[in-house]
């Protein structure tokens, strides 16, 4: 549920928080009693970074760099005084202690994590070696009776995100060099490089630019000029590029090191910078976007490289290909990271390039962000270019997954086929946010369309489509559920369904609640919805919630308990994930949890409580369940938000790239066999809009 506010009052001698929430299923506001420390637990649960600590390559390369730096200082006859900025669990500080550092100061600004780190350091026997400062590094002081008795000569830190600099890395390093470090300090990591690769990819564009709605090569809906030429969203599009189909893009330029950051302090780190590279294309085509990633040189000898490159450009790939391995096999072997992904940057102008002419690839960054442009000629003077900002409202109103969904031709074609059967001569009520196929119904023969748009930004978007396509006389936009048209004025209620307030797939059943304001005698589309699940083995996704236990020889179970307690008190057991980015193997066949008849009113439904079992048909590591919803538009046509091909136990599942599926990650991961059974339960309270799931391994034959 979406939290929108809270009040506190004394309740049974304990302080409780009553949190006002919007139930996205029913569209009603409710009050929920929460633990008095609910906000604290939410913050702690959101700080979980277990997948980063599960990153063995990252951990080991930091370990090696620390060992090398400490040995170097000792060989030079100096003490090794380490500063660890943003210590988190204290892992890097404990590594430094184990490597023989003479002194270690670790800082951590987040209070719960600082307290946790102190306990972890004590539990592992390093309380006499490590001093923890509960403060941001930029607030630390040096001197007698200060945070640090003297400046450090080794800095170790991990303050990077997908964009490298998005967490304030530049200011962190600059401040440390000026106030916290000796002049000839060793910095871990040593240098960082941002790489950019220009590609042609209509599929990538589908996440950024809305395309016209067409039917049999006939245009049903044109795109407003403001949308067509908008720069797009300013926020980074982080993505697991290794999982992006290799045949869905064409590299036009070889990867280019666009920005290099000397973290040692010998060269200044600039807050604002622009770089221009003259590059000869390796293929003819139209440049649509930039793929970006970065790497780190960890040590002063330039021997330890940590790369975030996608599989086709990863430094280990060529050697593995020489051994006869495919890219798909190699993708399963290179380190997986969800904390450091790759990113897509959309070029402000699609640019044709040819192998005959050099182009100018220009990169820009400020303190926190990157952006790019491409000019189809070589230039000597780099032009200024403002960071892209959306001016058309589409990129602000809708997430990239939704924009991709709007461009999904196969999906749109199903809606159009279903609409063609029903809309001719009818007055329709469209109950969905940003429903372009609903607008297209006018060109399919609808007499008039009422469109409910309660979100201001989505309403502005739809208004621009209405004006561009000359639909002002046949489309009426309604801004509130209180202003819905009377029943005798409409013939058909339609929807995709999609709502901005919905996060999990079944939350779009809000369509059912809205449609139920009318009699079941009014025709509806879709006519049914089915919640479907499959038991899976995630290759990596489970690591975002999996406990650490012993990590690189250090006991981090205190961190596990901290996160788990807070997650239990603040998190929903189901989360939304774009599963096409996260490989999974089916352990069962898909099974139906519940099918809803949308032609009947939800207000007339009784509470549903179901308990069933599903057999495991392929042995594996049972670590989660994937859930989605299928919409039955009519008796013949359906649309799924789940797999795009038949699901076969023991094989990888192919997921729809333009929706997010529901995911339940098991706390206790179990090896299962074909004799194993999973029990599941499902409950639905229609009057409150509450849906709950529960899954358990039942079989005694489980290993």
Task: Return d(Cα 392, Cα 373) in angstroms, integer.
Answer: 20
Using CA atoms of 153, 159, 165, 170 in order, give the dihedral in degrees to the nearest 10. Answer: -30
- B/e letters for 489-516, b = 16+ CB within 10 Å, e = fewer, are ebbbbbbbbbbbbbbbbbbbbbbbbbbb
Which residues, at least 6 apart from 586, have a Cβ–Cβ distance to it below 8 Å? Answer: 534, 535, 536, 618, 647, 648, 649, 650, 651, 652, 653
Who's near 507: CB < 8 A, 6+ residues apart? Answer: 24, 25, 499, 501
Specify which residues 564 forms β-bridges with: none
Q: Which of 144, 285, 288 is nearest to 211 (CA)?
A: 288
Q: Cβ distance 241 to 338 under 8 Å?
A: no
Radius of gyration of the chain (CA): 28
DSSP E strands: which ranges in 108-189?
Answer: 130-133, 152-157, 181-188
Which one of 158, 163, 200, 453 is the catalytic residue? 158
DSSP 354: -
Cα distance between residue 582 and residue 584, in whole Å: 6
Q: Token digits for 526?
A: 């879709």
Residues 330, 319 contacting (CB under 8 angstroms): no
The token duo for 203 is: 């599929």
The three state secondary structure string of 97-108 is: HHCCCCEEEEEC
DSSP state of 176: I
Active-site annotation holder among 32, 43, 135, 167: 167
Residue 386: CB partners within 8 Å, gap ≥ 6? none
How far is residue 364's CA from residue 371's CA, in Å, rounded to a whole number?
A: 5
Under 8 Å between Cβ of 292 and 286: no
- Composition of the chain by helix, strand, coil, percent to 5: 25, 35, 40
Q: Using CA atoms, how far apart are residues 437 and 295, in angstroms rounded to an integer?
A: 43
Active site annotation includes 43 = no
Please say if 167 is a catalytic residue.
Answer: yes
Task: Report the distance separating Cα 5 and Cα 7, nearest Å.
Answer: 7
Point out the residues that are catalytic. Answer: 158, 167
């Amino acid at each position: 549920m979406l939290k929108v506010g809270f009040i506190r009052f004394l309740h049974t001698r304990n302080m409780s928080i009553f949190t006002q929430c919007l139930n996205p299923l029913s569209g009603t506001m409710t009050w929920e009693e929460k633990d008095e420390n609910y906000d604290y637990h939410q913050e702690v649960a959101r700080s979980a970074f277990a997948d980063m600590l599960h990153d063995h390559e990252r951990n080991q390369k930091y370990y090696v760099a620390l060992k090398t730096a400490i040995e170097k200082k000792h060989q030079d006859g100096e003490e090794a005084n380490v500063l660890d900025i943003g210590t988190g669990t204290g892992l890097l500080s404990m590594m430094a202690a184990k490597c023989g550092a003479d002194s270690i100061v670790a800082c951590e600004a987040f209070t719960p994590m600082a307290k946790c780190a102190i306990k972890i350091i004590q539990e592992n026997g390093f309380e006499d070696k490590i001093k923890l400062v509960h403060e941001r590094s930029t607030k630390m002081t040096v001197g007698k009776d200060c945070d640090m008795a003297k400046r450090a000569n080794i800095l170790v830190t991990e303050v990077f995100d997908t964009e490298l600099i998005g967490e304030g890395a530049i200011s962190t390093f600059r401040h440390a060099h000026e106030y916290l470090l000796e002049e000839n300090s060793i910095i871990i990591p040593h240098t960082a490089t941002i790489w950019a690769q220009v590609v042609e990819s209509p599929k990538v564009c589908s996440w950024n630019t809305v395309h016209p709605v067409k039917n049999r090569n006939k245009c049903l809906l044109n795109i407003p000029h403001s949308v067509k030429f908008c720069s797009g969203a300013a926020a980074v599009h982080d993505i697991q590029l290794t999982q992006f189909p290799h045949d869905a893009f064409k590299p036009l330029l070889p990867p280019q090191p666009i920005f290099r950051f000397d973290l040692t302090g010998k060269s200044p780190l600039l807050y604002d910078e622009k770089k221009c590279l003259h590059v000869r294309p390796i293929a003819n085509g139209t440049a649509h976007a930039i793929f970006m990633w970065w790497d780190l040189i960890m040590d002063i000898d330039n021997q330890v490289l940590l790369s975030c490159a996608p599989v086709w450009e990863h430094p280990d790939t060529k050697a593995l290909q020489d051994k006869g391995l495919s890219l798909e096999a190699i993708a399963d072997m290179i380190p997986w990271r969800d904390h450091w992904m790759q990113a897509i940057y959309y070029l402000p102008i699609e640019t044709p390039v040819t192998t005959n002419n050099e182009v100018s690839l220009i990169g820009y960054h400020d303190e926190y962000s990157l952006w790019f442009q491409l000019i189809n000629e070589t230039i000597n003077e780099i032009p200024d270019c403002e960071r892209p900002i959306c001016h058309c409202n589409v990129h602000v109103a809708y997430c990239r997954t939704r924009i991709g969904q709007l461009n999904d031709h196969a999906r749109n074609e199903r809606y159009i086929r279903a609409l063609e059967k029903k809309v001719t001569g009818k007055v329709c009520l469209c109950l969905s946010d940003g429903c372009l196929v609903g607008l297209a119904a006018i060109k399919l023969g609808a007499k008039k369309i009422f469109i409910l748009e309660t979100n201001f930004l989505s309403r502005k978007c739809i208004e621009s489509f209405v004006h561009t396509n000359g639909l002002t006389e046949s489309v009426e936009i309604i801004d509130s559920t209180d202003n819905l048209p009377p029943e005798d004025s409409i013939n058909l209620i339609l929807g995709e369904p999609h709502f901005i307030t919905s996060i999990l797939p079944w939350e779009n059943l809000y369509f059912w609640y809205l449609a139920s304001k009318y009699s079941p005698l009014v025709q509806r589309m879709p006519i049914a919805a089915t919640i479907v699940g499959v038991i899976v083995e995630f290759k990596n996704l489970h690591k975002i919630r999996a406990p650490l236990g012993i990590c690189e020889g250090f006991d981090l179970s205190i961190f596990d308990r901290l996160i788990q307690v807070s997650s239990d008190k603040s998190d929903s057991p189901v989360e939304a994930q774009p599963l096409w980015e996260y490989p999974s193997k089916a352990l069962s066949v898909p099974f139906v949890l519940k099918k809803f008849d949308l032609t009947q009113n939800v207000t007339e439904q009784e509470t549903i409580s179901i308990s069933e079992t599903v057999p495991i048909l392929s042995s594996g590591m049972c670590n989660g369940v994937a859930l989605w919803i299928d919409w039955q538009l009519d008796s013949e046509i359906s649309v799924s938000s789940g797999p795009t091909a038949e699901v076969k136990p023991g094989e990888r599942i192919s997921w729809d790239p333009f929706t997010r599926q529901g995911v339940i990650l098991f706390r206790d991961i179990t090896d299962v066999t074909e004799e194993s059974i999973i029990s599941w339960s499902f409950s639905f309270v229609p009057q409150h809009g509450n849906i709950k799931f529960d899954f358990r391994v039942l079989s005694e034959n489980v290993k």
